[in-house]
């Protein structure tokens, strides 16, 4: 017989709180104190001190002389290990760097791995006003991300439907039917024109993505840029052409791969 802790969907509250603590510190604009974390998370200050001491002892947090907190070396070790699993070639990473240099916009490359579209390479743009908030390892919400739509438009039907269904969870049956129909129509258009766009899902931000393919013709991922919507509108044709060119280069790299 399974114990209560083995039941699907159950989580350990202490672990949830520790992870929330780390996420709060990571997302804070300025290094917070334990008191600020306590207030921000709505947790008892004594609980937060216990969590802080544990995370400090494991190296996941560091406490500065002014009592503010930042992520520790333990997080860096986890991240480095996470990145090593991506196996993105230097040539593909170079294509993203070239795209960022050509457009001056934040550029990315995402791949289809383990039935998810995962951001693998990210190069910030050189514009004074540029998009931030993306990170290597970003995944999920594929029907709304430009990279996700670029991949879904060329994925096999079973995988496409699985990912769509996963992202419609929580909607009413009527809303699911409408969203699915609208998305399938959009994916058909994406396939025909060769690129996908996400305008203002995050206010004032537009993402553009174009698919690239493996040597056997199956979808590998998407390469693209993220820019303020105002700037995208002004340079739309140029940006689309440059992104398509980068996607073509990525496909050429994979066709030459052993």
User: Residues 60-110: pLDDT tens digits?
Assistant: 999 999 999 999 988 887 876 666 555 568 889 999 999 999 999 999 999
Q: What whole-number distance in Å separates Cα of residue 126 and Cα of residue 67?
A: 34
Helix axis angle, 34-41 to 45-57, nearest 10°:
120
3-state secondary structure at position 61:
strand
Q: How confident is the model at residue 3 (pLDDT cuts 50, 70, 90)?
A: very low
Tokens of 49: 């001190």
Predicted local confidence at residue 7, as pLDDT: 44
Instruction: List the beta bridge partners of residue 116.
Output: 113
Q: What whole-number distance in Å separates Cα of residue 235 and Cα of residue 90?
A: 29
Phi, psi of 15 (to 5 degrees): -65, -45
Contact 172, 198 (CB under 8 A): no
Q: Mean per-residue pLDDT for 13-35? A: 93
User: Residues 126-183: pLDDT tens digits?
Assistant: 876 666 677 888 888 899 999 999 999 999 999 999 999 988 888 899 999 999 999 9
pTM of the complete model: 0.66
Q: What whole-number distance in Å separates Cα of residue 64 and Cα of residue 36?
A: 15
> pLDDT at residue 8 above 60?
no
**Closest residue by Cα to residue 148 from 133, 162, 130:** 162
Q: Locate all alpha helices (DSSP H) within the chain, ordered by sequence.
A: 13-27, 34-41, 45-57, 73-84, 90-103, 146-152, 157-168, 173-193, 229-234, 236-256
Predicted local confidence at residue 256, as pLDDT: 76
> pLDDT at residue 206 above 50?
yes
Measure CA 209 to chain center.
Answer: 13
Tokens of 239: 């940006």
Handedness of CA 150, 93, 220, 242 (dihedral sign): positive
Percent of residues, the chain, with pLDDT higher than 90: 67
Tokens of 87: 């196996």
Q: Mean per-residue pLDDT for 53-61? A: 94
Tokens of 119: 């951001």
Q: What whole-number distance in Å separates Cα of residue 5 and Cα of residue 244?
A: 49
Q: What whole-number distance in Å separates Cα of residue 103 and Cα of residue 256?
A: 26
């Amino acid at each position: 017989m399974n114990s209560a802790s083995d039941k699907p969907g159950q989580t350990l509250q202490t672990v949830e709180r520790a992870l929330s603590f780390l996420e709060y510190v990571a997302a804070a604009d300025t290094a917070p104190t334990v008191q600020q974390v306590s207030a921000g998370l709505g947790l008892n200050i004594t609980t937060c001190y216990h969590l802080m001491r544990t995370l400090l002892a494991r190296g996941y947090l560091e406490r500065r002389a002014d009592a503010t907190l930042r992520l520790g070396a333990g997080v860096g070790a986890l991240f480095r290990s996470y990145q090593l699993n991506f196996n993105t070639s230097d040539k593909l990473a170079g294509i993203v760097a070239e795209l960022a240099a050509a457009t001056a916009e934040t550029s990315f490359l995402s791949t289809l791995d383990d039935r998810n579209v995962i951001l693998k390479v990210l190069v910030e743009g050189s514009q004074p006003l540029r998009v931030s908030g993306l990170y290597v390892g970003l995944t999920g919400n594929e029907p709304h991300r430009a990279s996700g739509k670029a991949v879904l438009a060329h994925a096999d039907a079973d995988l496409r439907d699985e990912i769509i269904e996963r992202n419609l969870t929580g909607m009413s049956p009527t809303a699911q039917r409408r969203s699915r129909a609208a998305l399938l129509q959009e994916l058909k258009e994406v396939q025909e024109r060769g690129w996908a766009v996400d305008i203002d899902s995050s206010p004032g931000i537009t993402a553009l993505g174009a698919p690239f393919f493996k040597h056997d013709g199956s979808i590998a991922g998407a390469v693209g840029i993220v820019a303020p919507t105002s700037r995208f509108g002004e340079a739309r044709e140029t940006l689309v052409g440059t992104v398509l060119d980068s996607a073509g280069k990525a496909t050429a790299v994979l066709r030459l791969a052993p």
